[in-house]
Chain A
Amino acid sequence: MPVSTDIKGAKVWQLRNRNQTLIRWGSYLAAVAIFMWCWQRISEATTWFFVWDAPRIAADIGGRAWPPRWSYMDKLWGPLWDTFNMATLGTVMALFLAVPVAFLAARNTTPSTLFIRPVALFIIVATRSINSLIWALLLVAIVGPGVFAGLMAIALRSIGFCAKLLYEAIEEIDEKQVEAITATGASRWQVMTYAIVPQILPAFAGISVFRWDINIRESTVLGLVGAGGIGLQLQSSLNTLAWPQVTLILLVILFAVVVGEWVSAKVRGAII
């Protein structure tokens, strides 16, 4: 604890010594400078006239968007069903692919730490860091527009997420149970079924429901790039400036998201 003496000879207690204080203020200065530079770049790229005009535009759009056009609901049931399917089937598919990846990535179950684990980790990072909209963009170019592209996009994006959480759960298991099963002379597969799987099953169920909830949110916007679901309707309504329809679609999406979150919270509460 640095103590300095002032002019009168009294001791003054300080939290940090001089160098630590200097470094601290230097880093604050650098951080503020970086932030201000970034802000300046944004400011240069912005047409400020539009920003000052924004309240009027917002009021204008708001006035045109209300009330929502309820009769449009007839055309939304189909896309809503598609959206739900994309999220659910996409999650199921992702789980099928994520389980083997997770077992290959976990330090205690991987067959080879040197060769296979890095590959599995790369799959996890690569699928996780690419947003589902980008996956959808890519898959629309490959398999054509439609629900199938959206489903694949959701599945591919979810692999990394599920596999990451799952392999962390596998690494945290209690080794004693594994040892006990191994001591009975069990094979590798039997150890997995009777020692590892029962321990990660609650985590697995929690992860699947959690990801399903996220996927409901994500699948609502995939239609913006042509991958099916309610986003297609949103895109066409936006393109034709049909704001009352946009309001209705946003309300439906909000409702779907809230229901998804409620279901996921209930299920997770029941499991854990």
Chain B
Amino acid sequence: MTAVALDDRIGKAWKKPPLIANPALRWTLFIGALAYVVLAVASIDVNWSRVAEGLSRGWAFVTAFFTPDFVSRGGDIWAGILESVIITITSTVVGIGLSVPIGLGAARNIAPLPVYLVCRAIVSLSRALNEIIVAILLVAIFGFGPLAGFLTLSFATIGFMSKLLAEDIEEMSKAQAEAIRATGSSWLQWINYGVQPQVMPRLIGLSMYRLDINFRESAVLGLVGAGGIGATLNTAFDRYEYDTAAAILLIIIVTVMALEYLSGIIRAKVQ
């Protein structure tokens, strides 16, 4: 047996197949992506001397996390957090209260076409507008304070909850709903006994999730004057009081963790 024949028998070593089979497409995508990255990075001008100057401040902020100062601005922090919590609770309750009828209206298998279109339009509008932009407009209209924050988050909650609720209703089992209908139920009874039990566990889970989101969002609304802890945080950054800022951020992180843990327990219970 000659060496050549042996090589032929063994064949070539296995190579991992490429992600995109077509080589022309692969190289076009690769070169295109590379060109974009080069162009994009070139258009960002970084002032490195400014960055180097700021690094000491960055380090001061990181070390501030180990020595957070809860006390010297304790009153402001407490008032801000309380206002954030108040905005979170009210906006979640009102937002969910409003998103149930809109969610029902945005489900194609329940609502007639005109209602469906109107509700879908509300949902799209609410989802497309960023919370901060809504907050700016509402602060301009309603003045500074937690009311603008409350309205902003309620509006944002509608878009989120209604969409997911409507999708859930559209995916429900028709058999159960039809069984209730066959007993001669009214429309309200049909919704209450045929639809609601099917979507309730998910609705509770989503509500908890939204509570979590609303708390996180309420922390930034203060930046544009819509109430909550954001205003205190902004002041702390502006005055380079990193230890106070770190304390506020730690409170936010711990609260979010606690909420996530709580929602995990509740979701495990209802599902």
A residues neighboring B (CB under 8 Å): 34-35, 38-39, 41-42, 45-47, 50-51, 54, 57-58, 61, 81-82, 85, 88-89, 92, 125-126, 128-131, 133-134, 137-138, 141-144, 146-148, 151, 217-218, 220-221, 224-225, 234, 238, 250, 253-254, 257-258, 261
Q: Which of B36, B47, B136, B223 contacts A225 (CB 8 A)?
A: B223
Q: Is the CB of A129 within 8 A of B61?
A: no
Contact with A along B189-225 (1 / 0, CB 8 A): 0000000000000000000000000001101100110
Q: Is the CB of A130 within 8 A of B252?
A: yes
User: Contacts A38-B86, A129-B253 hold; do A148 and B46 have CB atoms under 8 A apart?
Assistant: yes
Q: Is the CB of B223 within 8 A of A220?
A: no
Q: Is the CB of B140 within 8 A of A61?
A: yes
User: Distance (Å) between the CB of A57 and the closest chain B CB?
Assistant: 5
B residues neighboring A (CB under 8 Å): 36-37, 40-41, 43-47, 50-51, 54-55, 57-58, 61, 82-83, 86-87, 89-90, 93, 128-130, 132-133, 136, 140-143, 145-147, 150, 216-217, 219-220, 223-224, 227, 230, 233-234, 237, 240, 245, 249, 252-253, 256-257, 260
Residues from chain B with Cβ under 8 Å of A129 in the complex: 216, 252-253, 256-257
Q: Which residue of B lies closest to A78 (CB)?
A: B43
Residues from chain A with Cβ under 8 Å of B141 in the complex: 54, 57-58, 61
Measured in the bound complex, the distance between the Cα atoms of B143 and A58 in whole Å is: 11
User: Distance (Å) between the CB of A176 and the closest chain B CB?
Assistant: 21
Q: Is the CB of B147 within 8 A of A46?
A: yes
Residues from chain A with Cβ under 8 Å of B143 in the complex: 46-47, 50-51
Q: Which residue of B lies closest to A48 (CB)?
A: B147
Q: Which of B90, B130, B219, B252 contacts A218 (CB 8 A)?
A: B130
Measured in the bound complex, the distance between the Cα atoms of B223 and A218 in whole Å is: 15
User: Distance (Å) between the CB of B22 and the closest chain A CB?
Assistant: 15
Q: Which of B47, B142, B220, B224 contacts A134 (CB 8 A)?
A: B220
Q: Is the CB of B260 within 8 A of A125?
A: yes
Residues from chain B with Cβ under 8 Å of A88 in the complex: 36, 40
Measured in the bound complex, the distance between the Cα atoms of B37 and A85 in whole Å is: 9
Measured in the bound complex, the distance between the Cα atoms of B257 and A50 in whole Å is: 37
Q: Is the CB of B50 within 8 A of A42?
A: no
Q: Is the CB of A144 within 8 A of B54?
A: yes
Q: Which residue of B lies closest to A62 (CB)?
A: B141
Residues from chain B with Cβ under 8 Å of A261 in the complex: 128
Q: Which of B130, B147, B256 contacts A45 (CB 8 A)?
A: B147
Q: Which of A82, A125, A142, A147 contacts B58 (CB 8 A)?
A: A142
Q: Is the CB of B46 within 8 A of A42?
A: no
Residues from chain B with Cβ under 8 Å of A92 in the complex: 37
Residues from chain A with Cβ under 8 Å of B150 in the complex: 42
Residues from chain B with Cβ under 8 Å of A85 in the complex: 40, 43-44
List 19 additional contacts besides A89-B44, A134-B219, A151-B44; criterion CB under 8 Å: A41-B83, A42-B87, A42-B150, A47-B145, A50-B142, A57-B140, A82-B43, A88-B36, A129-B252, A137-B223, A138-B61, A138-B245, A142-B55, A148-B46, A148-B51, A220-B130, A221-B130, A224-B224, A238-B136
Q: Is the CB of A35 within 8 A of B51?
A: no
24 CB < 8 A contacts A-B: A35-B89, A35-B93, A42-B147, A46-B142, A51-B147, A58-B141, A82-B44, A129-B257, A130-B249, A131-B219, A133-B220, A134-B233, A138-B245, A141-B54, A142-B51, A142-B55, A143-B50, A144-B47, A144-B51, A148-B51, A217-B130, A221-B133, A224-B132, A250-B133
Q: Which residue of B lies closest to A58 (CB)?
A: B141
Q: Which of A45, A131, A137 contacts B83 (CB 8 A)?
A: A45
User: Distance (Å) between the CB of A264 and the closest chain B CB?
Assistant: 13
Q: Which residue of A lies closest to B236 (CB)?
A: A137
User: Contacts A130-B252, A144-B51, A146-B45 hold; do A138 and B237 have CB atoms under 8 A apart?
Assistant: yes
Measured in the bound complex, the distance between the Cα atoms of B129 and A38 in whole Å is: 26
Q: Which residue of B lies closest to A132 (CB)?
A: B220
Residues from chain B with Cβ under 8 Å of A148 in the complex: 44, 46, 51
Q: Is the CB of A131 within 8 A of B217?
A: yes
Measured in the bound complex, the distance between the Cα atoms of B133 and A34 in whole Å is: 29
Measured in the bound complex, the distance between the Cα atoms of B131 and A220 in whole Å is: 11
Q: Is the CB of B57 within 8 A of A254?
A: no
Q: Which residue of B lies closest to A121 (CB)?
A: B257
Q: Is the CB of B217 within 8 A of A253?
A: no
Q: Is the CB of A54 within 8 A of B41?
A: no
Q: Is the CB of B237 within 8 A of A141?
A: yes
Q: Which of B50, B89, B133, B220 contacts A144 (CB 8 A)?
A: B50
Measured in the bound complex, the distance between the Cα atoms of B251 and A130 in whole Å is: 11
Measured in the bound complex, the distance between the Cα atoms of B57 and A143 in whole Å is: 9
User: Contacts A131-B219, A221-B130 hold; do A45 and B50 have CB atoms under 8 A apart?
Assistant: no
Measured in the bound complex, the distance between the Cα atoms of B209 and A128 in whole Å is: 13
